[in-house]
Structure 1
Amino acid sequence: MSDKHIKVFATGGTIAGVAGSATRRDYRPGQIGIADFLSEMDRIGLSANLVGEQFANIGSEDIGPQLWHRLHDAATRAMADEDCRGIIITHGTDTAEETAFLLDQTLPTTKPVVVVGAMRAADAVGSDGLRNFANAVRVAGDSDAAGRGVLLVMSDRVFAARDARKAHTEMTDAFKAFPRGPVGHVTPTSLEWFGPPWRTGEPARYEFYEDMPKVSILYAYAGMSPDNVAQALEGGAKGIVLAGFGHGNAPRGIRDALAEAVRQGVPVVRASRVDEGLVDREPEDDTAGFVAARALGPARARILLQLLLANGITDPTRIQQEFSRR
């Protein structure tokens, strides 16, 4: 067997979950260890040299900075290992888009990095975990997967971390990508890319920091009080992302309070609570100092704003430039 291997970093999630019944609705995520999981891969005849490491075995709702730090360090080491051809991270789907996007912005693009999960527990009828993982192995082992940033593999499709988001609570076809759609189609026996790599040989865009500034997301709703902005600032927020109505809108009182936050040196990014669509700049952004999230939804906008602030990028004009190049 070749010394070239694929590193598999396991964090738990539904892909390692067990219900105890093939038809039971509820289940316990993160029950299957990586050794047992990879043994199952051997049983089905998956031809790949996989080296597993268990980082956690939890639901992804509990993933945060400490685990991100460990994953980033391990991925950096794997990038430097000449015998490692690619990296797979098994992950719960609830926060997969955040982990994928954070790593996408803080790792070089020299080797494939693939995040994969499942929507059904391993012992459920129609479980999708083994197929998704087999697809991830095919992507991570393909040299043409490098230069595309971190990728997310679900339901026979390959998504770029810059675009991917969870859009359904239960369906195996739970992920969408906006604005560019999937970047490839994959099965355990085939892989087709829809275009050439777009980040070939690119270094990490930002330095990774475990202790990143606190950024709050404010979800807009009818009758929302400006007290929400004051509470975020009192709670130590160094930046705010507005999950606004429609085109990143909010009640007048909220907009005024956010403009005051900008005057106090707290950057504000307008995103949207709507599923799809760009949030472009509007005339008031110039006077209020707001940043338009463009194609990033609130979750990924928060990650990017944290990275920018951690890397010393605080000027709204410069922040807007970074959001506009996603």
Structure 2
Amino acid sequence: MTTRLTVLATGGTIAGIAGSAIAQDYRAGEIGIEDYLERVGGLGLGAELSGTQIANIDSADIGPAVWHPLHAAALAALDDEGCHGVIVTHGTDTLEETAFLLDLTLPATKPVVVVGAMRPADAVGYDGLRNFANAVRVASDPQAAGRGVLVVMGDRVFAARDVHKVRTRGTEAFRGFPRESVGLVTPASLEWFGAPWRSDSAAAYALPDSLPEVVILYAYAGFDGASVRRQVGPETRGIVVAGVGEGNMAEDARSVLVELAAQGIPVVRASRLDEGLVDREPEDEANGFVAARALNPQKARILLQMLLAGGTSDPAAIQRAFDGR
């Protein structure tokens, strides 16, 4: 049986052009999906690919305006009996956020793979073709279903919950935490490091029409209550603190956040560290705070937005949701 995959393109470096094989600067999102699929057509990937252009932009510009049509197109592809899997091409800067949002809001019935590149298409050592070929390999494997949304970069397969970008240059720019990678892949081989973990194939959340405003406050030496007040506005519905160490912050900032939590604005403690596991501390219950566990600040923000949009604002209920991730 021929494997049929739907490719949803959003732009990014994987579709970027520098105009020179050795230039440092480049323009993201220059190659359209039809053009791109023609370029990969001679690789002998062993799958029938059809593409839809959702956007063609730098991933720094991606947000709800792109997430909604991307989500709708992915749902439609997953509902299509003739489609066996979905590949999303994406810029690397916000790839982990889009992957996590899709992981929360898509069923795990078929493979969904997000892929990008660290070098533009006309650069020496362009990694996009290999990453894309690897993504086809993963999306073509029935064993990729039941694992949620996956990210393929640098011959590694990551779970959307775990993956994060750790370098600005080089092709080994992504890591996973708390799980490193969940598989290794080449265009000719695929090895999984365990069985599928999504026992419930349904989506965890419905993507709301609009996402409530949740701000991320970055803690630093000298971070105080005045800094908190300057960044929290009348439309703010939730706060994530990218705390120092294990989600910590100065006492002056903490006291203001306790006030805001008492006013009904959920406060989530995350860590600014690459590998920041944030457990609950004894004061969290009294303060009304939530511990982000293994989610980094940008992913904690998305999960909190989903919960608030669904009417969940009680800190204990929010904590249960974070514990379940």
Same fold (TM over 0.5): yes
Q: What amino acid maps onto 1:64 in structure 2?
A: G
Gaps spanning 5+ residues in structure 2: where?
A: none
- The answer on whether the counterparts of 2:270 and 2:276 sit within 8 Å (CA) in structure 1 is no
- The answer on whether the counterparts of 1:14 and 1:30 sit within 8 Å (CA) in structure 2 is yes
Mapped pair 1:121 → 2:120: yes
Aligned to 2:324: 325
- The answer on whether the counterparts of 2:276 and 2:296 sit within 8 Å (CA) in structure 1 is no
Q: Matched residues in 2 for 1:136 and 1:63: separation?
A: 21
Q: What amino acid maps onto 1:265 in structure 2?
A: G
Aligned to 1:307: 306
Aligned to 2:27: 28
Aligned to 1:229: 228
Aligned to 1:209: 208
Aligned partner of residue 283 in structure 1, secondary structure: coil
Q: What amino acid maps onto 1:194 in structure 2?
A: F
Mapped pair 1:38 → 2:37: yes
TM-score (norm 1): 0.98
Question: 4+ runs of 1 displaced by more than 3 Å?
Answer: none
Equivalent residues in 2 for 1:52-63 (5 A)?
Answer: 52-63=51-62
Aligned to 1:87: 86
Q: Matched residues in 1 for 2:130 and 2:274: separation?
A: 27
- The answer on whether the counterparts of 2:183 and 2:193 sit within 8 Å (CA) in structure 1 is yes
Would you say how many aligned residue pairs link Structure 1 and Structure 2?
325
Q: What amino acid maps onto 2:239 in structure 1?
A: I
- The answer on whether the counterparts of 1:110 and 1:201 sit within 8 Å (CA) in structure 2 is no
Q: Matched residues in 2 for 1:271 and 1:146: separation?
A: 30
Q: Matched residues in 2 for 1:201 and 1:264: separation?
A: 35
Deviation track 1:16-39 (CA, whole Å, cap 9, x = no partner) reads 001111111110000111111101
Aligned identity (percent) is 62
Aligned to 1:133: 132
- The answer on whether the counterparts of 1:120 and 1:129 sit within 8 Å (CA) in structure 2 is yes
Q: What amino acid maps onto 1:55 in structure 2?
A: I
Mapped pair 1:160 → 2:164: no
- The answer on whether the counterparts of 1:183 and 1:194 sit within 8 Å (CA) in structure 2 is yes
Aligned to 2:265: 266
Taking only aligned residues, the RMSD between alpha carbons, in angstroms, comes to: 1.0
Q: What amino acid maps onto 1:59 in structure 2?
A: D
Q: Matched residues in 1 for 2:52 and 2:233: separation?
A: 40
By how many angstroms is 1:41 displaced?
Answer: 1.1
Deviation track 1:25-80 (CA, whole Å, cap 9, x = no partner) reads 11000011111110111122222100001111100000010110001111111111
Q: Matched residues in 1 for 2:293 and 2:185: separation?
A: 29
Deviation track 1:279-316 (CA, whole Å, cap 9, x = no partner) reads 00111101101000000000100000001111111110
Aligned partner of residue 117 in structure 2, secondary structure: coil
Higher mean C-alpha deviation, range 143-152 or range 197-206:
197-206
By how many angstroms is 1:211 displaced?
Answer: 0.6
Aligned to 2:50: 51
Gaps spanning 5+ residues in structure 1: where?
A: none
